Chain A
Amino acid sequence: MIINHPLLGPRDSAEFVYLGDASLIDRPDPETATAEDWHAYGYLRDNPAGELRELWFHEGGDRSWLVVTRNTLTHEITSVEMARDVARAQGRSK
């Protein structure tokens, strides 16, 4: 597969390490989260036949974490974003 890195252009997926569902960005707020929230965050994942947002780490490159939207049926990649930008857009900060 080829991942179109937002900063570095098209790169072979062999340069990357795969982590999984991008929902890992949504770490519960430790002040307010319930045990159920932590359980869902830690253990529950959707397994869609279709578009999935997932985290890839450019270990053989610039060490960016990316959010890659990939169709699990066709492997078509429709969007690649810097995970940091995604995290900020979702309200994460310090």
Chain B
Amino acid sequence: MTQKNRVSGGLIDRATTLKFMFDGKSYEGHPGDTLASALLANNVRLMGRSFKYHRPRGPLTAGSEEPNAIVELRGGARQEPNTRATTAELYNGLLAKSQNRWPSLAFDAMAINDRFSNFLTAGFYYKTFMWPAAFWEKLYEPIIRKAAGLGSLSMRADPDAYDKGFRHCDLLIIGAGPAGLMAALTAGRGGKEVILADEDFALGGRLNAETGLLETGDWLNATIAELSSLPNVRLMSRTTVIGAFDHGIYGAVERVSDHLHTPDVGKPRQILWRIYAKQSLLCAGATERPIAFENNDRPGIMLAGAVRTYVNRYAATPAQRVAVFTNNDDGHRTAVDLQARGVKVAAVIDTRADAPLADAYEVIRGGQVVDSKGRRGLTFVEVKQADGSMRTVECGALGVSGGWNPNVHLTCHQRGRPTWDDGLAAFVPGGELPPGMQVAGAANGVFSTHGALTSGAKAAAKMMGVKAAKAPKAEDAPVSQTPFWYVEGCSRAWLDQQNDVTVKDVKLSHQEGFRSVEHLKRYTTLGMATDQGKTSNMGGLAIMAELAGKAIPEVGTTIFRPPYTPTAIGVLGGRMRGMEFHPTRLTPSHFWAKERGAVFVEVGNWLRAQWFPLPGETHWRQSVDREVTATRASVGVCDCTTLGKIDVQGTDAAAFLNKVYCNGFAKLAVGKTRYGLMLREDGIAMDDGTAGRLAEDHFVVTTTTANAAKVYQHMEFVRQCLFPDMDVQLISTTEAWAQYAVAGPNSRRLLQKIVDAVHDISNEAFPFMACGNITVCGGLRARLFRISFSGELAFEIAVPARYGDALMRRLMAAGEEFDVTPYGTEALGVMRIEKGHAAGNELNGTTTALNLGMGRMVSKAKDSIGSKLSERPGLNAADALMQVGIKPRDPGDKITAGGHLMLLGGPVDAAHDQGYVTSAAFSPTLGSMIGLGFLKNGGLREGERMRLVSPVTDLTVEVDIVSAHFVDPEGERVRA
């Protein structure tokens, strides 16, 4: 029979029927149902297996605190593990599977664990799998993970999109129950910008789950309608505020499409909101707490308030015959509501000897439930009556109530520590709340409906300086909560149902010396599951306090941290995944290079052409070797736009550069460029580049691609913090100019076809290291620098970025007669190694100017950043590392970067280390691999034969130490 347990009433739309599947079986439900309520309506109580003992479990709650009814939702790439059936909204075609069982939910082979429970107690992993240590990673852990795992991932890419958004408000109200709604009315009518967020899909909180709280039945709908009509109030349902962060910033996850089969086209699945709130009011309500007794985890045993939610809101009873076990008046509400829907109340077992009696159902005063029966679902409970006699109460479900705990979680996200309220026998918000936050309603320990309504209105009125809205007439019963955590004599009584922690485990951990609440948590795993112990932590604390002979507040609580409920990594990442993880920057010649079939490489955020394969080339080395050879033979062009460019202007520009570069710039003539080395203040090399002087008060500085942002930041630090009165301005112009290296013996001839004839770029008029403003292609403004990274006669030419593509095409067309060759970053790298130029591998954060062979560049005639500390004796030892070139004895041998240099005959160990290789490449010019590296006292060891050893790649090669300048050591080519 379908929906056997459906009762009358409820907030479901019976006119529409939704079909869904659970573990391959088809069921029906209605809009307004959750997966859990629809399953209960269909008389399905068994929804999952527990983590450790694989015990059959059904829902304990009707909300986000659910520990048991955890399922795999959806199929294919959208499969999502560990989803709470109690919050999953039902939609047509919903697909769900139970987890942590094999082969089926009804028969689970791993339930054998339950028979060995005596061996699987607290700290079991630590005790059993200690030896031998090596077995842990390879054997024990995989087995345990497989046996104890929760849901499984689809192992496919998530097809959905996630967004991030930003919102601002005067008042963020967290929770739309009675307190939150009244606060929103108050602040909204007062004209304040209000955001009212609630994790549920229906606003109203307990007003939806209870009967008879308000005297007027339509107040909730009228209030939601009024709030919706106010332009300054934003209602955000399906939105969980997951964390309270610094300075009034709140994180909230909106589940935009989780209630749909698939997200609407163009819509994200979820949105992570960053809400900037001037003030916030926490109206998060309270969570009911269970009472632990023997075998209290059978499907059908749930919180009494959850039973009311299922019956009143979802019109679904967990069984046809229900009993209640309570220590307070709330349990009686459950009995009344069940009877009103025609469900048989088997009995109300009340621990209090003076419990109120009722005509309509039996009350067992001073009774306690001591055990339960029914392997896959509750069949009866054993009750110990006040006189000590035992009695059996037949029931398919049991509602349990041990009182309520205020939801203080967000008050603790910064420094707040809850304080113990003896009257409520519960923790209430205390200590330092997040600045700007206040708490109202049940979250603040105000449990009556009247109290919640008025406290919400009053708090908002006070915070916003407006008039409090008038509350409707509401229930105002006195609240009495007395502590009753567990039934005497029980042992396998579950506290944390998700992590299978029992009363016995807590006692055992105490016995074994874990006395701190944080130790208890980690040793027993109490509260460490996906529900974070929302229904279990208090019970554990109470038992621990009792064993230690302390009061609960002395024991204290563990710390609540964000997020409030489990949050998908996808929504934290938002759109920033795959290639969108960071911005992709394209060079001005990118589309041209793509047309040429270039292979690209990511360099920081940039995509740069790595090499340009020609038809017939099957290996990258063929392309790279050809590019190097062709450039050295005639002319090559490479896009070097990605190098950082910083415009330095002002009357103190030269004095400023004198500070940031260790070498001198004051005397650099206009129209000249100079190589510059920047040091960190501790004397280590930071970056290198060139500075060209375009005018007396105008320099153009280049940095390496990787350090562009960092160097700019450093220069601004020097300018603003160290020399605040220097007349100098900086601006990054990296993106403003397209810049190409034109290198090779025919580079001048090629450029003469591009540069307007009025500009003489002959060797006499425009010698090595010259620079200047020029025009190209008939009047386009451009800059020309005669600098060389390749070691050839070379120039760098820059035009405004939007002309970059055109200039590259023009260079290629004009260069046809010289067989001009575009080259990529690999050829660039090979040529700079051949020339012995340092790059990132050598400027690696451990090397000084001295190590780099530029010790004499550090000017003693002036102060510059890093000059003083570079003089430290430790950095200037006689055997300091110096940059050298490395060549294999046998041209066929390999050189690898990272390999270490050892004496030919000596031992190979760290104590005898002589140096290391930083860069290596095959040099088509020399016909063998070559390398750059650092060698102790390297300046004096040219010609020495050594061993290059790389234990990582199992390499031992005989090498010669040579000059780092493999090509044109005299520098004749660059001056040609």
Residues B713 and A94 in contact, CB atoms below 8 Å apart? no
- Taking A57-B713, A83-B720, A88-B724 as contacts, is the C-beta distance between A42 and B682 under 8 angstroms? yes
- B721's partner among A55, A74, A75 (CB-CB below 8 A) is A55
Who on chain B is nearest to A89 by CB?
Answer: B724
Least CB distance from A51 to B in Å reads 16
- Taking A1-B246, A2-B248, A57-B713 as contacts, is the C-beta distance between A93 and B720 under 8 angstroms? no
Residues of B within 8 A of A76 (CB): 435
Residues B716 and A57 in contact, CB atoms below 8 Å apart? yes
- B868's partner among A12, A19, A33 (CB-CB below 8 A) is A33
Who on chain A is nearest to B717 by CB?
Answer: A65
Who on chain A is nearest to B863 by CB?
Answer: A30
Q: Considering the complex, which residues of chain B in the window 674-703 have a beta carbon less than 8 Å from any beta carbon of chain A?
A: 681-682
- Taking A57-B716, A76-B435 as contacts, is the C-beta distance between A65 and B248 under 8 angstroms? no
Tell me, yes or no, whether B877 is within 8 Å of chain A by CB. Answer: no
Residues B720 and A84 in contact, CB atoms below 8 Å apart? yes
A64 to B431, CA, bound (A): 37
Residues A2 and B276 in contact, CB atoms below 8 Å apart? yes
- Taking A2-B276, A94-B726 as contacts, is the C-beta distance between A87 and B713 under 8 angstroms? no
Residues of A within 8 A of B863 (CB): 30
Tell me, yes or no, whether B940 is within 8 Å of chain A by CB. Answer: no
- Taking A30-B863, A42-B682 as contacts, is the C-beta distance between A87 and B724 under 8 angstroms? yes
Tell me, yes or no, whether B249 is within 8 Å of chain A by CB. Answer: yes
A84 to B681, CA, bound (A): 19
Tell me, yes or no, whether B723 is within 8 Å of chain A by CB. Answer: yes
- Taking A1-B246, A17-B713, A33-B868 as contacts, is the C-beta distance between A65 and B726 under 8 angstroms? no
Contact code string A53-90 (vs B, CB < 8 Å = 1, else 0): 00101010001110000000111110000111011100
Q: Considering the complex, which residues of chain B in the window 694-752 have a beta carbon less than 8 Å from any beta carbon of chain A?
A: 709, 713, 716-717, 720-726
Q: Considering the complex, which residues of chain B in the window 221-270 have a beta carbon less than 8 Å from any beta carbon of chain A?
A: 246-249
- A75's partner among B246, B682, B722 (CB-CB below 8 A) is B246
A24 to B709, CA, bound (A): 20
Q: Considering the complex, which residues of chain B in the window 394-421 have a beta carbon less than 8 Å from any beta carbon of chain A?
A: 414-415
A28 to B709, CA, bound (A): 26
Residues of B within 8 A of A45 (CB): none
For the A-B complex, the count of residue pairs with Cβ-Cβ distances under 8 Å equals: 76
A87 to B718, CA, bound (A): 11
A38 to B863, CA, bound (A): 13
Residues B716 and A65 in contact, CB atoms below 8 Å apart? yes
Residues B655 and A2 in contact, CB atoms below 8 Å apart? no
Tell me, yes or no, whether B652 is within 8 Å of chain A by CB. Answer: yes
Residues of A within 8 A of B868 (CB): 28, 30, 33, 38
Tell me, yes or no, whether B528 is within 8 Å of chain A by CB. Answer: no
Residues A42 and B247 in contact, CB atoms below 8 Å apart? no
Bin chain B's interface residue count: 20 to 34
A73 to B868, CA, bound (A): 36
Residues B247 and A87 in contact, CB atoms below 8 Å apart? no
Q: Considering the complex, which residues of chain A in the window 26-55 have a beta carbon less than 8 Å from any beta carbon of chain B?
A: 27-28, 30, 33, 38, 41-42, 55
Least CB distance from A26 to B in Å reads 10
Q: Which residue among B276, B414, B717, B726 has the maximum number of chain A CB atoms within 10 Å of its CB? A: B717
- Interface of A, secondary structure class, is mixed
Residues A65 and B720 in contact, CB atoms below 8 Å apart? yes
A47 to B166, CA, bound (A): 34
Residues of B within 8 A of A84 (CB): 720-721, 724
- Taking A2-B247, A57-B716 as contacts, is the C-beta distance between A42 and B681 under 8 angstroms? yes
Residues A87 and B415 in contact, CB atoms below 8 Å apart? no
Least CB distance from B155 to A in Å reads 33
A33 to B246, CA, bound (A): 40
Residues of B within 8 A of A83 (CB): 720-721
Residues of A within 8 A of B725 (CB): 88, 92-94
- Taking A84-B721, A92-B722, A93-B723 as contacts, is the C-beta distance between A38 and B246 under 8 angstroms? no
- Taking A30-B868, A33-B868, A87-B724 as contacts, is the C-beta distance between A19 and B717 under 8 angstroms? yes
A16 to B651, CA, bound (A): 29
A25 to B717, CA, bound (A): 9
A63 to B712, CA, bound (A): 10
Bin chain A's interface residue count: 20 to 34
- A94's partner among B716, B723, B867 (CB-CB below 8 A) is B723
- A64's partner among B415, B655, B720, B867 (CB-CB below 8 A) is B720
Q: Considering the complex, which residues of chain B in the window 635-678 have a beta carbon less than 8 Å from any beta carbon of chain A?
A: 652, 655
Q: Considering the complex, which residues of chain B in the window 78-104 have a beta carbon less than 8 Å from any beta carbon of chain A?
A: none
Residues of A within 8 A of B276 (CB): 2
Q: Which residue among A2, A27, A30 has the maximum number of chain B CB atoms within 10 Å of its CB? A: A27
Who on chain B is nearest to A19 by CB?
Answer: B717
Residues A94 and B652 in contact, CB atoms below 8 Å apart? yes
Residues of B within 8 A of A77 (CB): 247
Who on chain A is nearest to B681 by CB?
Answer: A42
Least CB distance from B344 to A in Å reads 56
Residues B717 and A92 in contact, CB atoms below 8 Å apart? no
Least CB distance from B314 to A in Å reads 41
Least CB distance from B322 to A in Å reads 49
Least CB distance from B226 to A in Å reads 32
A74 to B246, CA, bound (A): 8
Residues B721 and A24 in contact, CB atoms below 8 Å apart? yes
Who on chain B is nearest to A65 by CB?
Answer: B720
- A25's partner among B246, B415, B722 (CB-CB below 8 A) is B722
Tell me, yes or no, whether B869 is within 8 Å of chain A by CB. Answer: yes
- Taking A19-B717, A30-B868, A42-B869 as contacts, is the C-beta distance between A75 and B723 under 8 angstroms? no
Residues of B within 8 A of A73 (CB): 415
Least CB distance from B604 to A in Å reads 15
Residues of A within 8 A of B415 (CB): 73-74
Q: Which residue among B276, B716, B863 has the maximum number of chain A CB atoms within 10 Å of its CB? A: B716
A31 to B649, CA, bound (A): 27
Least CB distance from B860 to A in Å reads 11
A63 to B435, CA, bound (A): 29
Residues B726 and A63 in contact, CB atoms below 8 Å apart? no
Residues of B within 8 A of A59 (CB): 709, 713
Q: Which residue among B247, B655, B709, B867 has the maximum number of chain A CB atoms within 10 Å of its CB? A: B247
A10 to B249, CA, bound (A): 13
Residues of B within 8 A of A24 (CB): 717, 721
Residues of B within 8 A of A27 (CB): 681, 722
A92 to B726, CA, bound (A): 10
Residues A63 and B721 in contact, CB atoms below 8 Å apart? no
Residues B247 and A1 in contact, CB atoms below 8 Å apart? yes
- Taking A38-B869, A94-B655 as contacts, is the C-beta distance between A75 and B724 under 8 angstroms? no
Who on chain A is nearest to B712 by CB?
Answer: A63
Least CB distance from B846 to A in Å reads 16
Residues A25 and B721 in contact, CB atoms below 8 Å apart? yes
Least CB distance from A83 to B in Å reads 5
Who on chain B is nearest to A59 by CB?
Answer: B713
Least CB distance from B516 to A in Å reads 22
Residues A87 and B681 in contact, CB atoms below 8 Å apart? no
A41 to B868, CA, bound (A): 12
Q: Which 4 A-B pairs have the closest CB atoms?
A: A30-B863, A93-B725, A2-B247, A87-B724
14 contacts between A and B (CB under 8 A): A17-B713, A24-B721, A28-B868, A41-B681, A42-B682, A55-B717, A57-B717, A59-B709, A65-B721, A84-B720, A86-B721, A88-B725, A93-B725, A94-B652
Given contacts A27-B681, A65-B720, 20 further A-B contacts (CB under 8 A): A1-B247, A2-B247, A2-B276, A25-B721, A41-B681, A42-B682, A42-B869, A55-B717, A57-B713, A63-B716, A73-B415, A76-B435, A83-B720, A84-B721, A86-B721, A88-B724, A92-B721, A93-B725, A94-B655, A94-B725
